[in-house]
Amino acid sequence: MNKNIKHWLFIGATVAFMTSCDNQLDVKPTASIDESEALANSQAVEVTLVGAYDALSSSNLYGGAIQYSGDLLGDDAEVRFAGTFTTLDELWRKTFTTTNAQTQATWLQAYTTINIANNVLSALDKVDASRKNTLEGEARFIRGLVYFDLVRLWAKTWGDGDPNTNLGVPLVITPTRGITDADYLPRATVAAIYAQVIEDLTKAESLLGNPSDTGFASKTAAQAILARVYLQQGKYTEARDAANRVITGNQFSLTESFASAFSDATNDSEIIFKIIVNEQDGANNMNLYYAPATYQGRGDIRVQNKHLNLYSSSDSRGTFFVRASGNVYTSKYLDQFGDVPVVRLAEMYLVRAEANLRLGTSIGATPLADVNRIRNRAGAAELTTVTVDNVMAERKLELAFEGEQIHDAKRLKRNVGTLPFSDNKLVIPIPQREIDTNKSLVQNPGY
C-alpha cells in the first residue's frame, strides 16, 4: 500500500467521536471526498486503511507522544526535561493542567485513528474476499493498540482498585460520521476497554499473516501487544504464552549488537512493529526531544547520572549515549528520519522470563536463559540465578526511553519518586475541552 495516498484522503467520517469541534470549524475540507465514495468499494476501503496508519504515525501518537508520555510520567529523576514546552514539562513534573494542549492532541488523534479503523470495519462487505481478513485484522490491530495505550494513560491501572468500576475512556466501536447527542458517550470501565482490546488483538492474530514490512500490522505484532496487555493485567500465563508464540514463530531474531537494534539498516530482524518515517512521511518526535541539536533534535530530554549508574562497566547499553554541550542523550533516536520502534523482540524474551518466573514454569526456555540471552547480546555478565527484581532491572536497562516506564511502575505498584503508584497525579486528566462539550464525561480524581 502506498502511504502517500493519504495526502488526498480525508473523509468526513474521520472526525473522531470526541473531537468536539465548534460550529464555526465544522466546514467540509476542500480535500475531502464523500463518504459514499470513500467506502464504496474494496480499493476505497484499502485507501481508508492507509489513512488509519497515517493517523497512527502522527507525532501525537506513536510518532512520539505515546512513548515520551510513558517515559516522562514515569520518570524518577533519571532524566531531566529541560525544554521550553510547558505541556511536556507538566508530564515530567506530574503537574497536569486539564488544558494541556499536548495531552489533548494525543487524545484527539487517538480517537481520530480509532474512528478511521471503525470506518474500515464497517465496510468489510465492500472488500474483495481475498483481502477481507487482512483488512479486518489490520483495522482491529490498530484499534486495539490505541485503546490499550489510552486506557493505560488516562485511567487507573489494572489492579489499582476494581477495573469493573474504575472509569476508563469512552468506548466507540462504530463510525462517527456526524456529531449528535447520541455520540456523547460516558467513559466505559477499565475492564470493558481491556476486554475490547483483547478481543481486537486476538481477532487480529487469527486473521493476519506476517508481511515482510513491519510498518504494517501482522500476526506477530498482535501477539506481541497481547503479551503487553496480559502482563499489564498480571495474567502471567496468557502473557507468557503470547510472548512465546512471538519467539517460537521464528519470524524475528535479536540483532547481533544492541546498537544494531536502533539502526534502520540492521534492525529489521528485531523490530516487530514500527512507525515508518522518511523525508516525505511519518513523524519522529523521539528524535525531536531525545536527540541534541547535532542530530537535528531539541535536546530537551537529558539523561542523568542516576540512570547512567545503573549499567555495569561491560554493558554496551551503558555506552549507548551521546554527549553534547555538557549533557547526555540516549542514542536510540539520533536519526531524524529513523523509523520509530513500537515493540521489539527483546521485550518478548523479558515478558516470557518474568511470566515463567512468577509461574514457576519454563515454557520456551528457563527465565535465567531468557534474561542471559538479553544480557549476552549487550556484553553484560551472565547471571547465575534470577529473581523478579533481576528481570525488572533488565527491563529498565533494555527498554529505557521506549515508553514503558510508567506502566511498569504501576503494574508493580512501585513509587514514582515520592508518589505512590496509585497517585492521581500519575493519571492524565481528561482534556477540559472534552469535559466542557460532553456532559456525560467524568473527570479523573484530583483534577
With left for phi above 0 and alpha for psi between -120 and 50, is residue 379 left, alpha or beta?
left
Determine the Cα angle at 117 with ends 74 and 403, to 5°: 15
pLDDT given at position 360: 98
What dihedral angle (degrees, nearest 10) is formed by the CA atoms of 259, 262, 263, 264?
160
pLDDT given at position 80: 98
Is this prediction's pTM over 0.75?
A: yes
For the chain, how far is it from start to end, CA to CA, in angstroms?
43
The C-alpha cell of 312 is what?
555495569
Distance CA 284, CA 273 (A): 15
pLDDT given at position 445: 97
What pLDDT, in 10s, does the model give residues 240-271? 999 999 999 999 999 999 999 999 999 999 99
Q: How far is CA 152 from the centre of its chain?
A: 10
pLDDT given at position 25: 32
Residues in the chain: 447
pLDDT given at position 11: 36
Domain 3-411 has what CATH class?
mainly alpha
Whole-Å CA distances, 370 to 207, 224, 377: 29, 16, 11
pLDDT given at position 182: 79
pLDDT given at position 37: 66
pLDDT given at position 279: 85
pLDDT given at position 34: 55
Residues in the chain predicted with pLDDT less than 70, given as ranges, are 1-37
